Chains A and B, each alone.
Chain A
Amino acid sequence: NAGVMQNPRHLVRRRGQEARLRCSPMKGHSHVYWYRQLPEEGLKFMVYLQKENIIDESGMPKERFSAEFPKEGPSILRIQQVVRGDSAAYFCASSPRQGGSYNEQFFGPGTRLTVL
């Protein structure tokens, strides 16, 4: 009865490197959301995906960030050429369908990215 799983829990990268963050949704969930929590700031929506489709990426920075949710395997949030400002906690959430009336989402433990 595993919840949303994210790995790694902690990731350290040097400026200019790539960061790959993985998210496995809860069993039976086909909708995945990524959020970012900057230090001393609230959670901000980044992207919403269904299997093999990006539905809403209105919160994603235009450059260096991409996300995918392939037919098989976890969802991946990829950050290319990381900068210090990318240091944050990245959370993945999943829901079993298109949210229903309440869009109840279940969150993973997050990946804490530190850029040196």
Chain B
Amino acid sequence: TQLLEQSPQFLSIQEGENLTVYCNSSSVFSSLQWYRQEPGEGPVLLVTVVTGGEVKKLKRLTFQFGDARKDSSLHITAAQPGDTGLYLCAENTGFQKLVFGTGTRLLVSP
């Protein structure tokens, strides 16, 4: 069974700081998605990465997919309080269900 470990588990930073969160797998991803979930809401899809070595940017967010497709990172530049939330990576298993990582809880204080 695919295991997706995310680190760090919790992250508390000040507005304006940069941060990176990681998603690692015990085996190769077919494709990987990143979601953000705010308290009391459902996850919202941020990006899908498919190709090893791929880099995608979404405003201040940069997503990287490892060359071997077993890890991924999310880098946020100049974090803002609105970035606060639970960041989840998820793999498309190819059988229609998503397998989610353990999540990183981010708190950005003004």
A48–B96 alpha-carbon span in the complex (Å): 8
Asked if A43 lies at the interface with its beta carbon under 8 angstroms from chain B, I say yes
Asked if A12 lies at the interface with its beta carbon under 8 angstroms from chain B, I say no
Provide the residues of chain A in CB contact with B31, threshold 8 Å: 101-103
Asked if B88 lies at the interface with its beta carbon under 8 angstroms from chain A, I say yes
The interface-forming segment of A14-22, A69-77, A106-114 is A106-114
A106–B46 alpha-carbon span in the complex (Å): 11
> Which chain A residues in 13-42 approach chain B with CB under 8 Å?
31, 33, 35, 42
Q: Which of B44, B92, B99 contacts A107 (CB 8 A)?
A: B44
B88 touching A43, Cβ below 8 Å: yes
A91 touching B50, Cβ below 8 Å: no
A48–B99 alpha-carbon span in the complex (Å): 13
Asked if A53 lies at the interface with its beta carbon under 8 angstroms from chain B, I say no
Asked if A52 lies at the interface with its beta carbon under 8 angstroms from chain B, I say no
Number of interface residues of B (CB under 8 A): 23
Number of interface residues of A (CB under 8 A): 28
Asked if A99 lies at the interface with its beta carbon under 8 angstroms from chain B, I say yes
Provide the residues of chain B in CB contact with A31, threshold 8 Å: 96
Asked if A54 lies at the interface with its beta carbon under 8 angstroms from chain B, I say no
Provide the residues of chain B in CB contact with A107, threshold 8 Å: 35, 42-45
Asked if B98 lies at the interface with its beta carbon under 8 angstroms from chain A, I say yes
Binding site for B on A (CB under 8 A): 4, 31, 33, 35, 42-45, 48, 55-56, 58-59, 91, 93, 98-99, 101-110, 112
Write 19 A-B pairs (CB below 8 A) sorted by A numbering: A31-B96, A33-B97, A35-B98, A42-B88, A43-B90, A55-B96, A56-B96, A93-B42, A102-B48, A102-B92, A103-B92, A103-B96, A103-B98, A104-B45, A106-B45, A107-B42, A107-B43, A110-B41, A112-B40
